[in-house]
Each structure stands twice: as C-alpha cells, then as structure tokens.
Structure 1
Amino acid sequence: MNSTKSTTTEPVKNKSIDTFSFGDPEPCLDNRMTEYIGLYADMDGLYSPPVSLAGLIKLLRVNAQHGPILYFKRNMILKWFKPNALLTRRTFKKFAFDYCWAANSYLQVIKNTFGNVIKLRHLPALSMRYTSTPGVYAQRLSNGNVLRFKKGEVIHLKEYDPNQGIYGIPQYYGGIQSALLNEDATLFRRKYYKNGAHMGFIFSMADPNLSTEDEDDLKAAIKDSRGVGNFRSLFINNRSGKADAEKAIKIIPVGDISTKDEFERIKKITLNDMLSMHRAQEALSGQTSGDSPGFGDLDKITRAYYNNEVVPMQQDMMEINEYLPAALHIEFSVPVYSDLNPRSED
C-alpha cells in the first residue's frame, strides 16, 4: 500500500494519537527468474530458453549454499575426469559447470581439412540458442550479432524436460523459492541492524531525587554509546515516582529480535531444502544443518555419494562420446571404493 498518514484525536491528556502505514505494494510472485516463459523464436529465428538463464546466473550468488553446492558437484564430476587430446581439463571444467547450473552445456566440434575431429571447444550456455533451422545452433555475441554454426558442429548436452525437447531445465528448479527465501531472511536481518531507526531498549528510571546534572550526564552517556549494535535507545525518568532501590532503574528490551523473529528457523529450513533439491551430502559439500552432532562415517558417505550421484552425472557427460570416434572417447577414473571397481570392499 502507498504511504499514508491518519490522525485520530482522543481525549487523553489533550493529546492526539498519530497512526500511519508505510510500504509500497509488492507482488507475491515477483521473482521473474522462476517463471516458465515457454518457447518461442525471435526475429533472428532463435528459440529463447524457457527460464531466464541470466536469472539462474544471479541465483548462484543468492546465498551461502546454492552456488557452492553446484561448484562442489562440478568438482566431483571433474575429480575423476581423464583429459585427452580433444578435451582438456579446463574446457571440460566449464562444460561440466554449465550442465550443473543451466542443465545445458555446449561444445563446438572443430575438424581439420580432412574432416577429422581435432578439438572440442567450450561454448557458454548463457549465450547459446537453438535456431528454427533443424540441427543448427547459434550464439548471441556481446555486440548484439548472431554467430551461426554449421549443422552438426555443436554438441548439446541437456537435462530432460517433459514440456519441450529443445532446452534442459535444472533439477534444482523446484527449490528456487527456498533459495530466495534464504536470501530474503538474510537481507531483512542485515537491514534491521543497519537502519538504526529502531530502539534497542528503554532505560527507565523512577528517581525524583536524581539531580538535573546527573540526569544530563546519564542521558549523554547513553546517547554517545552505540547501544546494542546500531540500535537506538530511549531514556525515561519518571520524577513523580518514589525512589526504590530495586525498581528505580529498569532496562526494558525492545529491539531484541533474537527471540522474536523466525530468522534461525527460516535459515535452517531453507538450508535443508537446498540440500534436498541438490541431493547434496552436507558432510561432503561443506554445509551443516545442525540436526546431527557429527558428520558420520565420511568414508561410507563418500562411497554412497559417488555411486548414487557422481556416477550418474559422469554417465551424462559421456553422452559426448556419441559424437566422437571410439579412439577419442572421454573416460573417468574409478576409485577403489566404487561399486564399479572389482577391488572395492563390500
């Protein structure tokens, strides 16, 4: 609602009571990055992704968990990768991360004059588009121009989306609102501490014998101090009261939000949501929900995570081999504790 101010006069000591409301109207669903905008071809014949890729990029920095977990998953894919003459570790690193955050990753197939594949070049998922010409991809350049590739020149690895078959949708898509709520809670907490327009406590006295000089010194000392963080404090001395050694001075907390808001609860719930939406093991990915006293058996956790999460991601990456000659297929090392290794223990 728009800022308004109303005044209601009541017969209380000949004073009026002012009330006002503040704040601008905000839509409940104002996060455009989470809107499924559908697929359509623009004037250049390029299909726009169903979700905002620029929004997904911003989401990497939305809080302390979402982005780092995606980098962790990229590292786990990269850990056992075997570089070869076509695909360097640096190129595969970019390719794998695009698949983690965008569910779309691209490689350009570079051939020599004899038609043999000699190199795979990374193409940023943010700028790549599928065209209205079957099998042809294009890249939007920073200067606004469009670079079109030849048919079959681009390898596109994508997550499956049942709504359409052109682009992939990240598996974490359903948890975006939890990630944004985590950010909102943090921003609210920071603004609460930084605005300095709210009271931290009321310093109340009921001492008619307090001299004016002592009262001024006491008010100056409170005013010059920073109080609790950046909280403002209020001083009151009721000279009509009776001096009582036990009740003459009272500290009344007002801005103690540590017991009055849901900050810690929201942070914990949203963290659990993000661990779930990424299927991340908190003991391995550097996150902790505080639900368990320790991290458990890291060897067993690592083995289970490798077999149930890393191997499927590696198998996704190996779809590249469908476009390469058998002698140049990409491969991954197999750790001793893997179920795929005959030497692993039960």
Structure 2
Amino acid sequence: MSDASVHLSVLDLATREYGQSNTDALQGSIDMAVHAERLGYERFWVAEHHGMPGITSSAPAVLLSAVGAATSTIRIGSGGVMLPNHAPLVVAEQFGTLRALYGDRVDLGIGRAPGTDGATAMALRRTDRLDVDDFPQQLADLIGFFTGMDPANPLARIQAVPGYGDVPEFWLLGSSGYSAQVAGALGVSFAFAHHFASDNTEAALALYRDSFRPSRFRSEPNALIGVQVVTDEDPAVVAEQSAPGMISFIRMRQGAKPEPVSMDEARAYEFSDLERRFIEARTARQAYGTADEVAAKINALVASTGANGVIVAPGAAQAQYRHQALDVVARLHGEGRLVRAGAAVA
C-alpha cells in the first residue's frame, strides 16, 4: 500500500436481520470477515453492545475467536471492548488467549462507554456507579497486565496468563475530545466513532495529534475514523436499505428496544418531517449514495480530519448490501480513488 492510500478496515455489529436467529447473525459476521479478507481489508473489528435485539456482538473476544479461525491474514480486533464493563485482568487474559491462538493479528480496541442503557450497564458492572472516573486507572491496569506493572501497584504481583509479555496492538476508541487526549497521552492509536458521532471529528483528531507523546506502542500518531457506508447506483435502494436501521435508531431514542425492522415494515413506514430532518442530519457526513458519492464523501472526511484511514461500518439492512458496501469501497481503493489528505486522486 502506497503512502497516499487510505487504510481500510471494517467494523461489524453482527447485525440480526428481521426473522434471523442469533446463530444466523453471528455466522453472518464471520462471513463478512472472510469477505473482507478476500477483498484486502487490513483489519476486521467487532463491537460490544448489550441488550439490543438487533445486535449480537455482545462478547467480542468470543466472536473474534471464531473470526480468527475462519481467516488467516486480516487483523482481527475489538471495536471495542468497553473496559468499565469488565475486570482489566479478564480482558488481558481473553486477548492474551487470542494472541496465543492468532499471533500478531490481534488488535485490542478499548472504549469507556457502556454500550447499552443504564440498567443493563448496572447489571454488567454490578453497581449503580456508572461514571468513568476509574477509567484511567482501569486502562493503566490493563496495559500493565500485558507489559508489567509499576511495582507500587497493588496488582503488580498478579500475572495475566495468557497475556503478560504478549502485547496486542492497542487502540483507544472514542467519540469525544477526552478519549482523544487520553490516546495521545498514552501514545497509542486512536479510532474515532464518526459513524455515530460526527459533530466534532475534526476537533477530536486535532486534539489527539496535539496531545500525542511517543511511547513503546507508537512513535507517531495513527488515527482511523468510522464511516457508515450504504451504497448502490440506484438511490431508491440506498434509501430502502437505510430505512430499517433508521427506524430502529429513532425508536431507541424514544426509549424502545431497537428490535429488527422488516423490509415490509420499513417500506410502509411514514417518516415525519422531524424524523426526516433527523435522518438527513445523521447521514450528511456518512458515505451514503453511489460509488462516486461514497468516494467523494470518504475523501472529504479524510482531507478534513487528516485520518490515516477509515473503518467501514456497513449500514444496510440486508447482508448482500452490507457486502456490497465492502465491495465498492475496496474497488474505489484499488482504482486509486481513495487517498490520504494532500494526495492527488487518480
């Protein structure tokens, strides 16, 4: 890959379509990883969400073990593990196990959000204390279980097995300036969740670069941005494939569980003017549209943020169109039409 190329990765939620079983959805995630590897993507990440009927990626390490067994070259990782939901030692052992099984292909992406509603977060953490004040110490402990603790740390005598001495590629994930600053101060790679929080992407990446201090992990900043992609040459297909997810998201914001929405229900759904404005605002800075429109939107984002690459988050309702999103972006990349900031488009 030339220095001018945009680095391509994939983020998958193991989406459960209407009428599918959890088994179907998880197998679909594995199939997408195989497809992404075949297309030449660099990494395949799975998210952590809980209590969402349309998303089955609640146990990233478990799903990644299956993804690792089905692939051989693509990097596999979490996008991400929500650290406040877990004991750092357990995360170190899980990803140490993945490293033992799949070697240096493993990324460990860490986030600090709950990935769910407050009640579910309390059930996960067994406490009603849901603030993030402990996050920096949790992060330091997690890294220490891989690299070695400060002797003054009460946990210094505890060893993660597997884990200790077998360090994955660390990434910090976030959608705010706080996470950007923490990633920069630690000297680790940073992935910004632009695919669902697009208002301050440029500011957060600038803050990450300004805060960056070289470390044992990286000598210079390295940033990816998540971009939701729904693409087809027919605008009607793009709208149809986007609708079920938008309906689920609107209902979730209204306090309902985001159940999978059927294509028939989505076709019959009448969006209010307010909902249409919400959708327009939500998708304006994502890559929805024809191949040419996808290329233009990704290039504009890379140019405005200075990101090293993008994480494609396929947003279509049906698997064939989620795969199509990977196909189109990979083709654009192969044609030299996705470039880093400052480079000329072929």
TM over 0.5: no
Q: What's the TM-score once normalised by structure 2's chain length?
A: 0.28
Answer 1 or 2: which has greater strand percent.
1
| Higher RCO (C-alpha 8 Å, min separation 6) | 2
Answer 1 or 2: which has greater helix percent.
2
Greater Rg over alpha carbons, structure: 1
